[in-house]
Amino acid sequence: MRAAAVAERAGIPSVSLVCEGFAGQASTTAEGLGFSHMAVAVMPGHVNMQTYEELKNNLLEVTVGQVVKGLSEEPGETEERGAEPEPREVVFTGSFEDVNDFFYAHEWSEGLPIVPPTIEKVEKFLRFTDRAPEEILGVLLCDRRESTIWNIAVNGVMAGCRPEYMPVLIAIVEAMADPAYGLEHSGNTPGPETLIILNGPIIKLLGFNYLQGSLRDGFRANTSIGRFLRLYLRNVAGFLLHKTDKGTFGGTWRVVMAENEDALAEIGWEPLCADMGFKPGDNVTTIARYTGGDTIANASGTSAERIMPYIADAVLRANLGWHLTFTCGMVVGTLRPLVALSPLIAGTIARSGWSKRDVRQYLFDHARLPAHEYDKQLFQYLAGADRPTRTLEERVALGEIPKLFCESPDPNRMVPIVVSPDDFMVTVCGDPSRDNAYAFSHNGFIGYPVAKRIMLPKNWDKLLKESG
């Protein structure tokens, strides 16, 4: 649809082909792009689940006629989207229950009660930033709506955040608005969820949980800020279920992962923010999108050599199939697997003399699979299991992927799942007394990791003291 919008603006007629299940999304996406009448041709059913004859018949009987119609008839007039409320406009007055019913009916909440965003509450949030309420951080797809300091505060109130979380919320939205993150893909089929990772002194200042249950709801900072991101995707970016969010199953929001920087300092490892280009001690938020993950329970051992095989195996299994297309298929080299280690596991590895770089190198060397299996995965997820596509060997010959993926013609050679050891991301959090870890399944360029510095207001200490 985005390509069709470019063509239409250039005066070139277009018709977008969409599977039947995405017809509604095509309509709302077109509206978000500024076109209420954009020609669409529907392909009945799902193309990956049809025989050649079924696909041929459906295309000839249904789709081709719609393509011809879309190219031969004059498009309708583009309708402007209705005016939206002004920042300080009061849209509804009533009881707590009435407000929540109103917001739910207008699709401004995800079904849980929201805190009514009164002007008084919003202005309390605005005190915790030196930036003007009307400042625009970016224009967010899919609805092309401006991201502002004001609407960040509004959604922060709704999510149940405290006013002093405002600098963190702003940094999160700056990361969302960064083109490298790929916000426009937030409603894609695998239904991934964004994980917020936090570094810096702000973790303790604002009471984030980084110990036992670090990825469970239960602490206000971790939980409400995680919810904020999901509300912001809905209310500002415009991702709505049954419309623009087409996750097949989806999931709920993830609570914020705050790193255990005390444990990191004790073992001599740098925090994730240093891997993302910042300095240890900086207040930084990193966001990336994951389709799920795998708990690594009881990764027992008295040394790195005993523990790391468990970790490498879990990281490999969590990032097979669809995820490999981001290494050698859709956008080469954009897979960034994440593993969260408990302090006990990280400490045991560090006592073996290993740095975090050593951990990444081990994962690069051992989270591998045979080339023939890699090719099989790409066959299935790029072109369909019964259709040919280029092998790793052919891709290397064409210069599409690095030579390390075909160092010999042996189909049993072991190949990595990323292009560099630095593609692996390693964090430390969770119960300090447990021998567990967690391997996340990264969604590649459709949610690429982006980090932003958290900028505190000049009178931060005074504001914190006043807020208690």
3-state secondary structure 361-401: HHHHHHCEEEHHHHHHHHHHHHHCCCCCCCCHHHHHHCCCC
In a domain, 337, yes or no: no
One digit per residue, the tens of pLDDT, for the chain of length 468 reads 778 888 888 888 888 888 887 776 776 677 667 776 788 888 888 877 788 888 888 888 888 888 888 888 876 665 556 678 888 899 999 999 999 999 999 999 999 999 999 999 999 999 999 999 999 999 998 888 999 999 999 999 999 999 999 999 999 999 999 999 999 999 888 889 999 999 999 999 999 999 999 999 999 999 999 999 999 999 999 999 998 898 989 988 899 999 999 999 999 999 999 999 999 999 999 999 999 998 999 888 999 999 999 999 999 999 998 899 899 888 999 999 999 999 999 999 999 999 999 999 999 999 999 999 998 887 766 655 454 467 899 989 999 999 999 999 999 999 999 999 999 999 999 999 999 999 999 999 999 999 999 999 999 999 999 988
Q: Output the CA torsion sign for 149, 154, 156, 161.
A: positive
Residue 51 within any structural domain of the chain = yes
- Report whether 29 contacts 5 (CB < 8 A): no
Is there a domain that residue 396 lies in? no
| Domain membership flag for residue 115 | no
The number of folded domains in the chain is 1
What's the pTM?
A: 0.92
- CA-nearest of 206, 296, 299, 323 to 256 is 206
**What domain range includes position 37?**
2-72
Q: Is residue 430 part of a domain?
A: no
Let me know if residue 357 belongs to a domain: no
In angstroms, the Cα distances linking 19 to 23, 26, 46, 118 are: 7, 10, 6, 42
Residue 45 lies in a domain: yes
- Domain-embedded: residue 457: no
